[in-house]
Amino acid sequence: MLLEKDKNSKKNRQTLYLKKEKIFNVLFNKLLLVSGVIVVLIIIFMLLVLFIASYPAIKKFGIGFFFSNIWDYRNNNYGALSFIAGTVLTSFLAIIISLPFSLSIAILLSAYLKKGPLANFIKTTTELLAGIPSIIYGFWGFYFLGPIVKNIGRSFGIMDATGYGILTSSIILSIMIIPYTASISREVLELVPTDLIEAGLSLGSTKYKIVANIMFPYALSGIFAGIILSLGRALGETMAVTMLIGNRNQIPKNLFDTGNTIASVIANQFGEATGIQSATLIELGFILMVITVVVNFTGKYIINKFKV
């Protein structure tokens, strides 16, 4: 009799435990779903608010806003072409400049220098670049990099080079985004199965051949994800670019010429803007948001194509 009661008690406890686990799993799944929906709703509401606030400018200028280079305060006539050109040019040029350094650091730390004081020092220093305030990059670029770029431009015969413009901003941006591509690329390269690497070594492959023919192709999707993250960081950078790009509302004629970006013009003018000018600046912000979303979704699509 006592044995039967013990069995029933144990069975009841197990049943109660399974019910609690089931309730917990259901609640946990609901929490995850709600969190994901909230993130999506935040993005949608951000785009919606920007669209509503910029609607007067959208209604007034229409599609011609994207193809006009005019920025006339007195007559309230505005165009976004020069700012879109400056944003895209500085961001993609920064990616091109930073890639050799980012990938070199990632390959060095994942294949050649995995442990030791020097590896830790390089890793810490690279990560430190991401934590430096952008205003510090702006000061350094203004007082150190600007005069160097000016001399380089004049040595190429560009006598009106001031040292502050597209190239200077792109170089600063490239330094700022190195940690993002380097850290993600290093992590995905370290995830390459050791069986593949040992197979390559057993066939007599050199370290270079293993990196080029095994590690790099295997980790290509992750490396591209780091590049997309860096591009998103470069597209939205404000302070350092504002200090170095020259802030002239024009399409740059060369890399040493001055220009402007969407983030810079908003930072410079939004505090004093009213009426249609304020709506125009918000529309620029809406355009920047759309560009960022398109770049990320395009990058995600390409990453899926690269997956091993």
Cβ atoms 66, 84 nearer than 8 A: yes
List, for residues 152-161, the tens digit of each pLDDT value.
Answer: 988 888 878 8
Backbone angles phi, psi at 307, to 5 degrees: -60, 140
What local confidence, expressed as pLDDT, does residue 1 receive? 52
Instruction: Assign 247 to helix, strand or coil.
Output: coil
What local confidence, expressed as pLDDT, does residue 101 receive? 92
Is residue 238 pLDDT above 60, yes or no?
yes
- Tell me the average pLDDT across 296-302: 79
What local confidence, expressed as pLDDT, does residue 202 receive? 82
47, containing H or E segment: helix 2-61
Binned at pLDDT 50, 70 and 90, residue 302 comes out as confident
Instruction: Assign 259 to helix, strand or coil.
Output: strand
Please name the amino acid found at residue 124. T
- CA pair distance 96, 170, nearest whole angstrom: 9
List, for residues 65-112, the tens digit of each pLDDT value.
Answer: 888 888 887 888 888 889 999 999 999 999 999 999 999 999 888 888
285, containing H or E segment: helix 275-306
Cβ atoms 255, 167 nearer than 8 A: yes
List, for residues 1-53, the tens digit of each pLDDT value.
Answer: 545 555 566 666 677 767 777 888 888 888 889 988 998 899 889 989 999 99
Token code pair at residue 147? 């005069």
Instruction: Assign 71 to helix, strand or coil.
Output: strand
What local confidence, expressed as pLDDT, does residue 140 receive? 92
Token look-up 């050799």 returns: 100
Q: Beta-carbon neighbour count of residue 75 at 10 Å?
A: 7
What local confidence, expressed as pLDDT, does residue 2 receive? 46
The residue among 296, 288, 274 whose CA lies nearest residue 86 is 288
Q: Which DSSP symbol is given to 307?
A: -
- Tell me the average pLDDT across 169-197: 88
Token look-up 């020097």 returns: 118
Token code pair at residue 53? 């606030």
What local confidence, expressed as pLDDT, does residue 232 receive? 85
What local confidence, expressed as pLDDT, does residue 306 receive? 64
* pTM of the predicted structure, to 2 decimals: 0.83
Secondary structure of 88-148 as H, E, C letters: HHHHHHHHHHHHHHHHHHHHHHHHHCCCCHHHHHHHHHHHHHHHCCHHHHHHHHHHHHHHH
Cβ atoms 283, 80 nearer than 8 A: yes
Percent with pLDDT over 70 in the chain: 94
Is residue 233 pLDDT above 60, yes or no?
yes
Percent with pLDDT over 90 in the chain: 17
What local confidence, expressed as pLDDT, does residue 191 receive? 84
List, for residues 209-228, the tens digit of each pLDDT value.
Answer: 888 888 888 888 888 888 88
What length is written for the chain? 308
Nearest 5°: CA angle at 268, between 181 and 150?
Answer: 65
Strand ranges for the chain from DSSP E: 71-72, 77-78
Q: What is the mean pLDDT of the chain?
A: 85
